[in-house]
């Protein structure tokens, strides 16, 4: 596969140097949050510490996701021929293109050990042109791409790895939106949420660090709320209380906190839904797709 190594703007080198020089400090404040921000120019990848300090713009990119160990960030970069996946090594600042197929790849997530990437794509050469979006796996070096899910009537979106890297949770949209899990080998497809009168349209699922629960957002009482459910589909809990809205939630590496979006702002809260604090103010531009790693 043809791959080209590129580099971000100088801010990247500063960020990479900081990550390499002060890993103990990052661990002490519970890691690093990566997100997509818009500040008057093209969408870019940003990082910020969980206390809201050290906001850094790394370079142009969409839908970033950081590995749980904080060593790699996968993201999407648009081009004239489509959208491709790129990978940033936070330890040395190296950026490489992972895909090169102009199929509109999107919504990537990286395995906890950084070795595999799951993403949403359309049928490759020789595949069924009538298929909708489905999940693909690829090794982090750009090799061994394979289709994980398939079918003409369903679209599979928003994948995320389990903490042990053995399963993937995602959204299946037909005949109604529901959360599903599947092994990385494509076996044991399991329904997590079925029809439920308490909410509709579940999205942005991700596992807790211990793998016991799945965090997601869904519509209820006229707005988006944040929920959690046991990975086996039992024990539903609503975390955002009353009319408090929230989308795109993700756990901290220790499982004690959650980052999420409300409008243009990023916020954090306790894993139980309390102690909400603003992380990134949306006054200067929108902030979306947060992801939390060490």
Contacts of residue 181, Cβ cutoff 8 Å, sequence gap at least 6: 162, 167, 168, 169, 170, 188, 189, 190, 192, 231
Distance CA 180, CA 44 (A): 30
Residue scoring higher pLDDT (150 or 84): 84
Residue scoring higher pLDDT (242 or 66): 66
For 83-133, write each residue's pLDDT tens digit. 999 999 999 999 999 998 767 899 999 999 999 999 999 766 555 666 688
pLDDT score recorded for residue 168: 98
pLDDT band at 11 (very low <50, low <70, confident <90, very high): very low
Q: For residue 218, give the H/E element and its range.
A: strand 213-220
For residue 292, the cross-strand partners are 33
Contact present, 249 and 257 (Cβ < 8 Å): no
For 208-217, write each residue's pLDDT tens digit. 999 999 999 9
pLDDT score recorded for residue 27: 38
CATH number of the CATH domain containing 33: 2.120.10.30
Least confident of 80-84, 229-233, 252-256: 80-84
pLDDT score recorded for residue 26: 34
**Three-state secondary-structure class, residue 220:** strand
Tally of structural domains, the chain: 1
Per-residue pLDDT, averaged over 33-38, amounts to: 97
Q: How much is the pTM?
A: 0.87
pLDDT score recorded for residue 25: 34
Q: Which domain holds residue 242?
A: 5-293
Contact present, 95 and 87 (Cβ < 8 Å): yes
């Amino acid at each position: 596969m043809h791959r080209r190594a590129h580099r971000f703007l100088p801010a990247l080198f500063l960020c990479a140097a900081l990550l390499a020089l002060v890993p103990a400090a990052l661990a002490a404040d519970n890691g690093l949050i990566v997100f997509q921000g818009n500040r008057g120019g093209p969408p870019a990848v940003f990082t910020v510490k969980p206390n809201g300090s050290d906001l850094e713009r790394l370079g142009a990119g969409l839908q970033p996701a950081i590995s749980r160990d904080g060593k790699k960030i996968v993201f999407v970069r648009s081009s004239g021929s489509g959208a491709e996946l790129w990978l940033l090594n936070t330890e040395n600042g190296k950026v490489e293109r992972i895909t090169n197929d102009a199929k509109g790849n999107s919504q990537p997530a990286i395995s906890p050990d950084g070795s595999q990437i799951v993403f949403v794509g359309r049928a490759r050469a020789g595949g069924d042109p009538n298929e909708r979006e489905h999940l693909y796996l690829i090794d982090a070096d750009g090799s061994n791409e394979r289709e994980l899910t398939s079918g003409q009537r369903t679209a599979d979106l928003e994948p995320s790895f389990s903490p042990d890297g053995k399963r993937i949770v995602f959204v299946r949209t037909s005949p109604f939106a529901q959360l599903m899990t599947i092994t990385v080998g494509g076996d044991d497809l399991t329904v997590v949420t079925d029809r439920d009168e308490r909410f509709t349209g579940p999205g942005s699922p991700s596992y807790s660090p211990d793998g016991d629960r799945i965090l997601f957002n869904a519509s209820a009482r006229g707005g988006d709320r944040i929920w959690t459910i046991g990975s086996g589909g039992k024990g539903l809990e609503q975390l955002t209380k009353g009319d408090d809205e929230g989308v795109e939630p993700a756990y901290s590496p220790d499982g004690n906190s959650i980052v999420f979006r409300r409008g243009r702002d990023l916020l954090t809260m306790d894993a139980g839904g309390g102690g909400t604090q603003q992380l990134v103010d949306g006054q200067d531009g929108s902030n979306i797709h947060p992801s939390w790693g060490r």
